[in-house]
Amino acid sequence: MNDITALILAAGKGTRMKSKLCKVLHTAAGRSLIDYVLDSVQALGAAKIVLVVGHQSQEVITAIELAGVEYAIQEPQLGTGHAVMAARDLLQGSTGHILILCGDIPLIRSETLSRFVECHAANNSGITVMTTIMDDPLGYGRIIRDDYGLIRAIVEEKDATPDQRLVCEINSGIYLVRAELLFSLLDRIGSDNAQHEYYLTDIVREAVCDGMPVHGFLVEDSREVIGINTRSELAKVSTIIWDSVRESLMRSGVTLLDPTTAYVDSRVKIGQDTIIHPNVTISGLSEIGDDCVIESGVYILDSRLGDGVRVLQGSRLDRAEVHDGTSVGPMAHLRPEATIGRNAKIGNFVEVKKSVIGDGSKASHLTYLGDSSIGKNVNIGCGTITCNYDGKKKHRTVIHDRCFVGSDVQFVAPVEVGPGSVIGAGSTITRDVPEKSLAVSRTKQKIYPLRKGQGSTEPDENRES
């Protein structure tokens, strides 16, 4: 079936999250909940995707960077049935089938959705409901079946009788409905219930009243349809995703010294024979090559590392690029647009921002390199600073190949140092330095004798007692 329109319900505030942020924008293992659902729907090959938004609608629309998604506004939010009604204008006249699902079920797999569609088609069903068995069904709508296994009703927790609450088969909130049936059924439901809302589940009751068979599709792994309503559930789902990523990485040849403390997001790529030490977080779209070592306490976000890179303890890389054979850290900070060449060294307490460091260059200690271009085989001495900000604008420092910079040097940008030059320790460089030159900028050392009683522990014989 290639005539599926996906309708994703993402209008709710998520009151139980106790958050100023709407529920579907909360992140699990580094990605928003709605992103996971959109990935699965895209992989299914839905011909059209409609997203129902409400609370913080503009923030949700802005956060989604998927072309072709259409948006319907639900205002106010009066239940799941009301949410589908809000999309009437975008769905009216649709042919085929409408897949309805919520935006807070990040574990749903495209393979499961495909089997769901196949079941719907095989039964030539008007409505198919995805269900699962929960050991503790508290809070979920219960599936009530007849003797033939067809669904007779979906009863919400607050409306269920004591006997119905003993049922462990629950409604996942995922439906497939023939497009021409959907709104004719919705037009017949009301809000006469404990919540005074329009329940989408009531379309099942209306279909049964018309003698229409309603089929169920049972998902064996109930985790796939877990909806996120609390911070606790969010944490559990994040753990499930991280566990899956860890297993996949280890199968592909990555060593995790303590898997339970390696937090690697689902879109991260890591090469063979790379070793990840405990307490490491690798997020976003980061890519790490073969034979790397990532030591403990390291945080890497949206960064690219070549082969044989070592990132030592306590370092942070944020949207940086590090080429083959380079060592970073310990306690180094690579900020956005930092590009480090091959076989280079960025040492302890070195910060690099919006700078290119050439192959074989070294900044080993206590240095800040911002808005700079450093050539190949340059030595940057301890305590060097590029003074890139004049209070209004940022300026660049350019240091060409094979330069040697002594300790405690300040480059007051804009300034350029020619190839092969030497900068004396303790200098403040305010003007360009020609090629193969020695630049020294410091006052002449003077020595004064100390008077008695200054800087000495010897007694002053003339001092009165």
End-to-end CA distance of the chain: 106
353 appears as a binding residue in the annotation = yes
Judged by DSSP in three states, 344 sits in coil
pLDDT < 70 positions in the chain = 1-2, 453-465
- Tell whether residue 80 is among the known ligand binding residues: yes
Residue linked to tokens 């390199």 = 369
Q: Is 74 marked as binding a ligand?
A: yes
Residues 104-154 have pLDDT tens digits of 999 999 999 999 999 999 999 999 999 999 999 998 999 999 999 999 999
pTM: 0.88
User: Residue 395 catalytic?
Assistant: no
Quote the pLDDT of residue 355: 98
Ligand-binding annotation for 13, yes or no, is no
pLDDT attached to residue 194: 73
Amino acid at 50: V
User: What phi and psi, each to the nearest 5 degrees, are found at residue 114?
Assistant: -65, -45
**Domains defined along the chain, listed by start:** 4-225 (3.90.550.10), 231-439 (2.160.10.10)
DSSP code for 264: E
Per the structure block, which two tokens stand in for 10?
Answer: 């993402």
Q: What angle do CA 6, 240, 12 make, to 5 degrees?
A: 40
d(CA 331, CA 297): 9
Select which of 26, 120, 365, 400 is catalytic. Answer: 365
Does 344 carry a binding-site annotation?
no
Specify the pLDDT at position 464: 43
Is 207 marked as binding a ligand? no
* Alpha carbon separation from 165 to 138, 145, 216, 218, 315 (Å, rounded): 8, 14, 19, 19, 52
Helices 33-44 and 110-122, packing angle to 10 deg: 50
Q: What is the pLDDT of residue 33?
A: 97
Residues 6+ apart with CB under 8 A from 318: 301, 302, 303, 333, 334, 335, 336
Q: Binding site annotation covers 227?
A: no
Would you say 324 and 341 are in contact if contact means Cβ atoms under 8 Å apart? no
Q: Nearest 5°: CA angle at 33, between 73 and 55?
A: 30
Q: pLDDT per residue over 218-265, tens digit each?
A: 999 999 999 999 999 999 999 999 999 999 999 999 999 999 999 999
Cα→Cα distances 236→40, 107, 110, 168, 223, Å: 20, 11, 21, 21, 10
- Tokens 């990840």 found at: 276
